[in-house]
C-alpha cells in the first residue's frame, strides 16, 4: 500500500483569488468557505477572492485564509475520491495547525478561530518591533548559526538543503546578511515580510497564544500513532501530552522543515500531497529528496493529479 502524507501551506503562499475556483466548482469547497465566513462573522471569502492584496497579506487575514483554502482543497479531494486515506500530515508554521485539524486533533471551527487569533497576535508583535527576515542560500546551518550568535539573530526556518531563513531585529539581520555574503553564502536575500517571524521578537504573541490554547479542545485522535502529525519544533510526531506547549514554542522556534520531511521519508512515506495556495512545499521537497513524489492541489483541475496514486 502506498503511504501518503499531506503537507499544508504556510503564510506567504496567499494570493488574491485563492480558493475562488474551489468555491465555484466544488460543493464541499464552497461549504468550507461559507462555514468560515459564518464562524468568523467576517467576509473571509471576499478578502481571499477580491483582496485587496494589502489586506490579504495582513497576518490576521492571511492565516485563516490559508487555513480555509487548505481545508477546502482537502474536502474536494475527499469528495472526488471517496474513502481517501492519508497516513501522516505536516504543515509549515501556520500549516501545522491545519495538519492537526485535518488529522482530527481539533475541529474546523476551533482551528479557524485559533489561527485567526494567532495571526492577530503575531501582527501585534510585528507592529511593536522592528523585525526583518532574510533567506540565506548556499550556506550550511552550523556556520549560519554561528553568524546568528555573533549578530543576535535567530534561525527561523531550516527549509531544505542550502536554504535557511534568519529572523530578528532589522539592523541585526542586515549585519547577518553582510557576514553571510562575506563568508561564502551564494545569495542572501532580504524578505518582504511584516516582521521577524519565528524569532524571540514573537515572544509576546506566543505568551498570549498560550492562554487561548489552554481553553481549546485539542486531543490526540484514536489513530494518532498510526497517522502522525509532525511538530515543527521537534521534527517528530506530536503526542497528546505536549502538543499545546509545542504550538506555543513554535511561534519563536526554528521551523525544522527539512528534518520533518526526512522523518516522514524514513517512515516509508514516498508520496506527498500539498494542499493550499501555491507549490512552495513541493519545491522544497524536490531539494530534500528528488525521489519523493509530490503533487499540489489548490484548485479543481489539480484533482486530476490524484490519478498518480492509483
Of these residues, 69, 87, 198, 263, which one is catalytic? 198
Predicted confidence (pLDDT) per residue in 118-169, tens digit = 999 999 999 999 999 999 999 999 999 999 999 999 999 999 999 999 999 9
Count Cβ atoms within 10 A of the Cβ of residue 300 and give its class: 0-12 exposed, 13-18 middle, 19 or more buried: middle
Query: To the nearest whole number, what is the mean pLDDT of the chain?
Result: 96
Of these residues, 26, 70, 93, 296, which one is catalytic? 93
pLDDT over 90 (residue 309): no
Quickly count: other Cβ atoms within 10 Å of residue 203's Cβ: 13
pLDDT over 80 (residue 310): no
Query: What are the grid coordinates assigned to 110, written together?
Result: 476551533
pLDDT over 90 (residue 2): no
Mark whether 198 is an active-site residue. Answer: yes
- For residues 44 and 37, give the distance between their C-alpha atoms in angstroms, rounded to a whole number: 6
Query: What are the grid coordinates assigned to 279, written together?
Result: 507549490
Helix, strand, or coil (residue 192) = coil
Percent pLDDT > 70 in the chain is: 99
Q: How far is CA 217 from CA 32, 104, 208, 222, 245, in A?
A: 20, 11, 17, 15, 14
Q: Span 31-39, mean pLDDT? A: 97
What is the architecture, at CATH level 2, of domain 4-127+200-309? 3-Layer(aba) Sandwich (3.40)
Per-domain residue ranges for the chain? 4-127+200-309, 130-190
The answer to whether 4-127+200-309 and 130-190 have equal CATH topology is no
Q: Which CATH number fits domain 130-190: 3.20.20.80, 2.60.120.10, 3.30.70.250, 3.40.50.11260?
A: 3.30.70.250
Predicted confidence (pLDDT) per residue in 245-298, tens digit = 999 999 999 999 999 999 999 999 999 999 999 999 999 999 999 999 999 999
Buried b (16+ CB within 10 A) or exposed e, 205-227: bbebbeeebeebebebeeebeeb
Mark whether 93 is an active-site residue. Answer: yes
Q: How far is CA 213 from CA 94, 114, 145, 222, 301, in A?
A: 14, 8, 31, 21, 36
pTM of the model: 0.96
Amino acid at each position: 500500500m502506498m503511504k501518503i502524507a499531506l503537507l499544508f501551506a504556510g503564510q506567504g503562499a496567499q494570493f488574491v483569488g485563492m480558493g475562488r475556483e474551489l468555491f465555484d466548482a466544488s460543493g464541499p469547497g464552497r461549504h468550507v468557505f461559507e462555514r468560515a465566513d459564518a464562524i468568523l462573522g467576517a467576509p473571509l471569502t471576499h478578502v481571499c477572492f477580491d483582496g485587496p492584496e494589502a489586506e490579504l497579506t495582513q497576518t490576521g487575514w492571511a492565516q485563516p485564509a490559508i487555513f480555509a483554502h487548505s481545508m477546502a482543497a482537502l474536502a474536494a479531494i475527499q469528495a472526488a475520491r471517496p474513502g481517501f486515506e492519508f497516513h501522516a500530515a505536516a504543515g509549515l508554521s501556520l500549516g501545522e495547525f491545519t495538519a492537526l485539524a485535518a488529522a482530527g486533533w481539533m475541529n474546523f471551527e476551533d482551528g479557524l478561530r485559533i489561527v485567526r487569533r494567532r495571526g492577530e497576535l503575531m501582527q501585534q508583535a510585528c507592529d511593536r518591533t522592528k523585525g526583518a527576515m532574510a533567506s540565506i542560500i548556499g550556506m550550511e546551518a552550523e556556520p549560519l548559526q554561528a553568524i546568528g550568535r555573533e549578530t543576535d539573530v535567530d534561525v527561523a526556518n531550516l527549509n531544505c538543503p542550502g536554504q535557511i531563513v534568519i529572523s530578528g531585529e532589522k539592523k541585526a539581520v542586515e549585519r547577518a546578511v553582510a557576514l553571510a555574503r562575506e563568508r561564502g553564502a551564494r545569495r542572501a536575500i532580504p524578505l518582504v515580510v511584516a516582521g521577524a517571524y519565528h524569532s524571540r521578537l514573537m515572544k509576546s504573541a506566543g505568551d498570549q497564544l498560550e492562554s487561548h490554547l489552554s481553553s481549546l479542545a485539542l486531543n490526540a485522535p484514536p489513530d494518532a500513532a498510526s497517522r502522525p502529525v509532525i511538530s515543527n519544533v521537534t521534527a517528530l510526531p506530536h503526542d497528546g501530552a505536549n502538543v499545546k506547549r509545542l504550538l506555543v514554542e513554535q511561534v519563536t522556534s526554528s521551523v525544522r522543515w527539512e528534518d520533518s520531511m526526512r522523518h516522514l521519508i524514513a517512515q516509508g512515506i514516498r508520496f506527498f500531497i500539498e494542499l493550499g495556495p501555491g507549490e512552495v512545499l513541493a519545491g522544497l521537497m524536490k531539494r530534500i529528496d528528488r525521489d519523493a513524489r509530490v503533487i499540489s492541489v489548490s484548485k479543481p483541475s489539480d484533482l486530476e493529479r490524484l490519478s498518480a496514486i492509483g
